[in-house]
Amino acid sequence: MAALSRSQQVAATEAVDPERSGSLGHFAPAPVLAFVGLGANLGNAPATLAWAVQALAALPLTHLVAASSLYQTAPQDCEPDSPDYFNAVAQLQTQLSAPDLLTALQELEHQAGRQRPYRNAPRTLDLDLLLYGEAHIDSAQLTVPHPRMHQRAFVLQPLAEIAPLRVSAQQLQDVANQGVHQAGPLNFLQPS
């Protein structure tokens, strides 16, 4: 999953391009900073996360601003003997609406083989919209800010790395016992 294939680029574009899909097209009037949490614990999770960051950068009307390092943690609320998770956070500047961005994230999960057989199942790729500008959204499909992000070290530590003003020292201290550690760089080409 090192590079985004042409068919994957087309699928991601069709998920959010009203000219091609005809069903979406609720664009933000001005670019918005959005933060996306990435996680995986099946297959080659670090490679999948690097692929996902490239795919996020390829979304229409979207620019990758930053991506955190990889973080590794033991699974929480999962089956015994589940593999460790790898996590990261990406910062995007986008003109996609929050619902259209969510649709694009779900399409990328699907392309990575994500299945949802039950709650907290191991996964090939999990993409969560953590923050969308300063918006507060509470709908049946989407809640922003993400309702559990402040309870999860695997979200707060990478978020603090790329956007330190978004996470307080107290928030980091509150999750310090969760055993998350930096696992190294996210290997992909940084945006120019």
User: Which CATH number does the domain housing residue 107 bear?
Assistant: 3.30.70.560
Closest CA to 93 of 17, 9, 34: 34
186 domain residue, yes or no: no
Residue 1 lies in a domain: no
Residue 147: φ, ψ to 5°: -65, -20
Does residue 182 fall inside a structural domain? no
113 or 3: which leads in pLDDT:
113
Residue span of the structural domain in which 19 resides: 6-177
190 belongs to a structural domain? no
Residue 184: inside a domain = no
- The stretch 148-156 carries a mean pLDDT of 92
Position 140 pLDDT exceeds 50: yes
pLDDT at 31: 94
pLDDT band of residue 37 (cuts 50, 70, 90) is: very high
Domains held by the chain: number: 1
Q: Please report whether residue 111 resides in a domain.
A: yes
> How high is the pLDDT of residue 119?
63
What is the DSSP track for 97-129?
A: -HHHHHHHHHHHHHHTT---SSTT---S-EEEE
185 in any annotated domain:
no
Query: Which of 49-53, 133-137, 183-187 shows the lowest mean pLDDT across its residues?
Result: 183-187
Task: Give the pTM.
Answer: 0.82
> Both ends of the chain: CA-CA distance in Å?
21
Which of 141, 163, 159, 142 has its CA nearest to residue 151? 159
Q: What does DSSP say about strands 143-144 and 137-138: parallel, antiparallel, or unpaired?
A: antiparallel
Give me the pLDDT at residue 24, please: 46
The reported pLDDT for the residue numbered 116 is 66
List Cα–Cα distances, 16 to 30, 114, 128, in angstroms: 16, 19, 17
Q: Which residues are catalytic?
A: 114, 123, 126, 128
Domain assignment present for 159: yes
